[in-house]
Structure 1
Amino acid sequence: MRKLQLAVMALLALIVIGCTQDNPLTEETHETDLTSETSQELLTIPQINKIIDEQLRRTGDFSWDKTSDQVLWSATVHGSGILTIGYGKKGESFSAKKNARLTQSKNTIVSEIIKLENTSRNETLFEDDEILNVIDVQVKSLKTITELRKRDDIRYMEPNAYSFFYSEQYPQNRSSSGCGKDGKTLNSNDYRTIAPGSLVSWTYDEHNIEQAWAYSTGAGVTVGLIDTGVSQSQPLLGSNFNDGYSNGRSIQKYGTFIDSPWWWSNNYDGPHDKCGHGTSMGATIASPRNNNNLPVGVAYNCNLVSYRATEDVLLNDYHERKGVKNALRQLANRSDVKIISMSIGYPWSINNVKDAVRYAHSKGKLIFAAGGTSLDFTNWYPVIFPASMSETVAVTGITDDGTYQQCDTCHDGSEIEFTIIMERDSDNSRTGTVLGFYNGNTDYVGGSSVATATTAGIAALVWARYPNWSRSQVLNRMRQSSEFYPNKDSTKGYGNIDALQAVQ
């Protein structure tokens, strides 16, 4: 199975491999560190990673709020001194309009940092979100961390340029997780040809998607895709987006990802995919139905708004996290966008992204997120962020064996709402068929990533069929059209969606 099928969490393997040996900080040392007078020693990256791993294993989650001042400061220093601060009271993720109290709070926090760090405002504050109650500041002093933690108007502080996956043991600042641009020749048993000459993935038949097209093809609905962008070498996701039975629709491409190792860079990398993952997701949702003998998308008449917000599927870079935050905020402000699909993530919450998800949710967006995909010996890991949020709809993939066996690389858990059959039980390399990165190419795509994009496409079919419905009405119809409804399985949610039933 190609790298793309490792999708959202291929690097989760790194958590398991290497985090269990020669711990330089024992559990006893860690507990003492949290309760005794703050140590002035700068922890190393391996030491910080051991503390992260221990909390993950003990609780299934990780939060910087639950670490000592020393740990937070050390991670901030190793992350170029960047500290992301969410200000305001609990639950105040964003401000729909100017709020004098919040503005005063923000300015007071910045002034305190300037005094403690002995710097200027320009040197201290370099990112001030215009909607979210979030700022990025430069911090070097342990005392600054300690003093800020005494305030009651700070919701969180995170070292957003610190990467768990960048260390002496795993020296990669940029990963290629989930990426792959090489096409694959499709097995003839993995598709059917329909008029006027399009290929229907075998996975669609498991959910009655072709039958649903008699009622809806997604026309009039706009889906926002936050991923690695879509390929400029694939005209069917470009100049030929309207082709064959697909017509009267639009595709728009934007970029919020800055391609630079330097936090201060403004070198936006444009809208075009350089990874392959986003192209596969965009094609799954919306590739046209034409006579090119290529795979068709689930909602082949929907509009698509693609954001290159990240370099790959793992949000382990400062610019990736900021890129996703900004993409969410921009899509939230578009009245035409009803659905957002996110087949990207991280092992634990990233709070500025969480704030942006909450803002998009407040605007009525139906947000689908991948439950997580990793190596078969790490898919025990819980549902990842942002699928772990109540404001998103978590999706995972299963095989076609009829027993809801999770796919070889897929995560499941209590947060999962829906499952999609996307992998042959007899051959895990045969997953969903999809349009390739280059013109004329075909490919396979698997994991919870394609399950999420497929579900977003089904949601577009439902919303196009019932254009006056609200988000909750669309989501409830999808639940009611799933196999386990009205019950919910502890790890597979409402189960497989019947797209035909959903649009009838």
Structure 2
Amino acid sequence: MKYLIRNQIFGLIVLALIVVSCQTEEQPQVSQSEYSQEEVQLVSSHEIDQLILKSLKESGDFIWADQSDELILSALLQSDSVLTIGYQSADKELTNARIGLESVGQPQMQQAASKIIGLVRRIQKPQQNANSRMVDESLVHADLPFLEVKVSTLEVLQQLRALGEVRYFEPRGYEFDYSLAMDNPYARITSDSGCENEPQSIPSSDYSIIAPGAKSSWNYDQMGISQAWNQSSGAGITVGVIDTGLSPDQAMLNGSFNSGASSGRSVQRFGTYQTGLWWWKKYDGPHDQCGHGTAMAGVVAAPRNTVGNAVGVAYNSNLISVRGTSDVIFNSGNEKDGVAEALVLLGKRSDVKIISMSIGDLFSSAKVADAVRYAHNRGKLIFAAAGTSTSFTNWVGVIFPATMPETVAVTGVKEGNGYQRCDTCHSGAQVEFTVIMERASTNSKPLTTALYSNTPSTVGGSSVATATASGIAALVWAKYPNWTRDQVLNKMRNTADLYPSKNAQYGYGNLNAAAAVN
């Protein structure tokens, strides 16, 4: 069961977390009678969730590959029974640095995938009946080195564990009950990054009017963004935003994307999120049905307009929006698929320099991790939200995929001297940068574009911090268009507030856009 996260403010977990999606994942396809014959003591979903919770509190993550075969089988049979299997050729170990660079179409890789599928079918074929007719169905990803197949027996997992061609395996569709991680188990999961993005009445003290009539958020001066605009507006740089899509009703991100002082650029939208059953799904389109994606896209690239709407950090950059998830936390099998596909889509595009991900999950997904590495190994600079939550903030650290070394983790802090994280922001050793995004006296959040209207909304948490950092990176890359990803990132580090020191919770501290474009 998945919880729709709704809250008055806006920001992330992310994760905090999020919204109960209306969609329903595929139900288990294997009957009790089929697996009881194996005399396997199945682990209940409650026990699995308690183990996940314990691991999160002790280590900050939960890795399916480290769990027993009995636990993984139990998770499979209590979800959609689909096992995701990362593979490699028998004679060559596939390192993280080669994900996506080593073609899955090579004969050795094809042989590895065929061997794994053949093993599963050989073991499970004798047990097929009307209730397990999908056991022979399998999917081999076209670009990433993983395949998916229905698994219903312990023997399959045991033999896969011993196979050199197998890098990892994990249940595709099992969903952790996030209410167990809350201080109040009866409260709804809430987040500064929920799915409401309505126009708001914003005090004039929280913005300034800039030519030719746009509203510039109160924190832009403090982050050096307003000053950086004298040298860069992000022109010529394409930023990909993986989130909940773009609203067709927000003119600034549609027909008026080139308006005011913004011109000569493009906005594109795609949808990689699918609904339906594992073997029979359909794409759900690029339109934002949540609100979060529209807000993040607005922070990155909303035009410097004439009508009083909020202006984005890189107001002359190109924008590609990919709807990879239905809400801010990608905890369902379909959402993990959508996010992975979005990363592959943007990874393949030579024009995309920066990927902004103000989304995440409490623990790792090997499939999504492969996709992150796919994009990273193609030179993309990937920013990921460290996490935003209410009930979890006291003990949850940085969330996935911001925990990965291939991403740049960002969180939000309050204005003023010293470093104090925003009321709902996560922090930790993986954080690279911080962004000022909460007023000390009023807790006001930065401006962004609402789902509709020329009246802005506000957005908080590490979500907006991540989108802001992505916009600043676009300003730097536009100023130095021949630079590599590492050069851009190093310039951002070298000009951040705490450099060369690195704080255990806040990394190199607040970014300084003005210094970074010099």
Q: Is the 8 A contact 1:398 1:423 kept in 2?
A: yes
> Cα offset for 1:150?
1.7
Residue 109 of structure 2 is aligned to residue 102 of structure 1: yes
Larger CA deviation: 446-455 vs 115-124 = 115-124
CA offset digits 1:430-470 (Å, max 9, x no partner) = 11111111122311100000000000000000000000000
Q: Secondary structure at the match of 1:312?
A: coil
2:514 to 475, 481, 500: 500
Equivalent runs, 1:53-452 vs 2, <5 Å: 53-88=53-88, 89-91=93-95, 93-97=99-103, 98-118=105-125, 123-165=135-177, 178-260=194-276, 262-375=277-390, 378-428=393-443, 430-452=444-466
Aligned twin of 1:18: none
> Cα offset for 1:283?
0.1
CA–CA distance in structure 2, aligned partners of residues 388 and 7 of structure 1: 13
CA–CA distance in structure 1, aligned partners of residues 100 and 168 of structure 2: 14
Aligned twin of 2:484: 470
CA offset digits 1:410-433 (Å, max 9, x no partner) = 0111111100000012222x1111
Q: Secondary structure at the match of 2:159?
A: helix
Structure 1 residues 411 and 12, CA gap change in structure 2 (3 angstroms): farther
CA–CA distance in structure 2, aligned partners of residues 221 and 94 of structure 1: 23
Q: Is the 8 A contact 2:137 2:149 kept in 1?
A: yes
Q: Is the 8 A contact 1:203 1:421 kept in 2?
A: yes
Q: Is the 8 A contact 1:8 1:178 kept in 2?
A: no
> Cα offset for 1:165?
2.6
Q: Is the 8 A contact 2:19 2:195 kept in 1?
A: no
Larger CA deviation: 162-171 vs 412-421 = 162-171
Larger CA deviation: 193-202 vs 164-173 = 164-173
AA of the residue aligned to 1:96: E
Q: Secondary structure at the match of 1:266?
A: strand
> Cα offset for 1:124?
3.1
> Cα offset for 1:203?
1.0
Q: Is the 8 A contact 2:193 2:459 kept in 1?
A: no
Q: Secondary structure at the match of 2:258?
A: coil
CA–CA distance in structure 2, aligned partners of residues 243 and 456 of structure 1: 22
CA–CA distance in structure 2, aligned partners of residues 357 and 242 of structure 1: 31
Q: Is the 8 A contact 2:225 2:514 kept in 1?
A: yes
AA of the residue aligned to 1:57: K
CA–CA distance in structure 1, aligned partners of residues 492 and 151 of structure 2: 47
> Cα offset for 1:6?
5.0
Identity %: 47
Q: Secondary structure at the match of 2:375?
A: helix
Q: Is the 8 A contact 2:101 2:377 kept in 1?
A: no
AA of the residue aligned to 1:408: D
Larger CA deviation: 322-331 vs 125-134 = 125-134
> Cα offset for 1:103?
1.4
AA of the residue aligned to 2:87: Y
Q: Is the 8 A contact 1:373 1:379 kept in 2?
A: no
With normalisation by structure 2, the TM-score equals 0.88
Q: Secondary structure at the match of 2:274?
A: coil
Q: Is the 8 A contact 2:10 2:292 kept in 1?
A: yes
CA offset digits 1:237-289 (Å, max 9, x no partner) = 011110010000000000000133x3233221100000000000000000001
CA–CA distance in structure 2, aligned partners of residues 363 and 439 of structure 1: 37
Aligned twin of 1:28: none
Runs of 4+ in structure 1 displaced over 6 angstroms?
166-173
Q: Secondary structure at the match of 1:5?
A: coil
Q: Is the 8 A contact 2:300 2:315 kept in 1?
A: yes
AA of the residue aligned to 2:503: D
Structure 1 residues 294 and 11, CA gap change in structure 2 (3 angstroms): closer
Residue 44 of structure 2 is aligned to residue 44 of structure 1: yes
Count matched residues: 478
Equivalent runs, 1:5-24 vs 2, <5 Å: 5-11=11-17
Aligned twin of 1:25: none
AA of the residue aligned to 1:59: S
Q: Gaps (5+ residues) in structure 1? A: 15-37
Higher relative contact order (CA 8 A, sep 6+): 2
Structure 1 residues 95 and 467, CA gap change in structure 2 (3 angstroms): closer
CA–CA distance in structure 2, aligned partners of residues 502 and 39 of structure 1: 62
Larger CA deviation: 93-102 vs 326-335 = 93-102
AA of the residue aligned to 2:80: S
CA–CA distance in structure 2, aligned partners of residues 202 and 171 of structure 1: 33
> Cα offset for 1:95?
4.9
Q: Is the 8 A contact 2:412 2:425 kept in 1?
A: yes
CA–CA distance in structure 2, aligned partners of residues 222 and 439 of structure 1: 25
AA of the residue aligned to 1:196: P
Larger CA deviation: 68-77 vs 88-97 = 88-97
AA of the residue aligned to 1:502: A
CA–CA distance in structure 2, aligned partners of residues 74 and 471 of structure 1: 43
AA of the residue aligned to 2:259: D
CA offset digits 1:195-215 (Å, max 9, x no partner) = 111111011111111110110
